[in-house]
A = this chain, B = another copy of it.
Amino acid sequence: MRTGAEPAGSKTYSITQLSEEFSVTPRAIRFYEDRGLLHPRREGQTRIYSQRDWVRLLLILRGKRVGFSLAELREILDLYDLGDQQTEQIRLTLVLARNKMVALERQRQDIDQTMAELGTACTYFEKLLAERGLDPEAAIAAPRQRRARTA
């Protein structure tokens, strides 16, 4: 009962609960805290994560997939944290957010181009296979497992 800022009955998570739900290791979660991306409550030694932390972790992982570094993600998450900030601070934050959006927009263009190229490559391969009288659909995609927990 330190701050009592939480709605008292709000759901909380242990570190392993979070780690299993999001398929990341506890080590990673602690690391994010070390880098200032998460600030869980403490009960004695052990960390206790709130709903807010849950959302933050979601945003972190999505951000990583999008290509943000942890440092950048910290900046972004801080955007959501401004309470009664100074005007100048808000203005800077706004600039930051807009910059991020510009970068993302460009990245999406890159993705579109790459997908287009891969697409034409695919149809080319399919044509090749068809010429040899083979069914392109026979090529079954193996589910690329990548750092899944063995659990």
Q: Which residues of A contact B (CB under 8 A)?
A: 59, 62-63, 65-67, 76, 79-80, 87, 90-95, 97-108, 110-115, 117-119, 121-122, 125-126, 128-129, 132, 134, 136, 138-142, 144
Contacts and interface: CB of A to CB of B under 8 A. Distances in A.
B129 A90 contact: yes
Contacts of A101: 115, 118-119, 122
Contact of A107 (B65, B80, B132): B65
A134 B99 contact: no
Contacts of A98: 122, 139, 141
A94 B66 contact: no
Nearest to A115: B104
Nearest to A80: B121
A97 B79 contact: no
Contacts of A106: 65
A136 B87 CA distance: 11
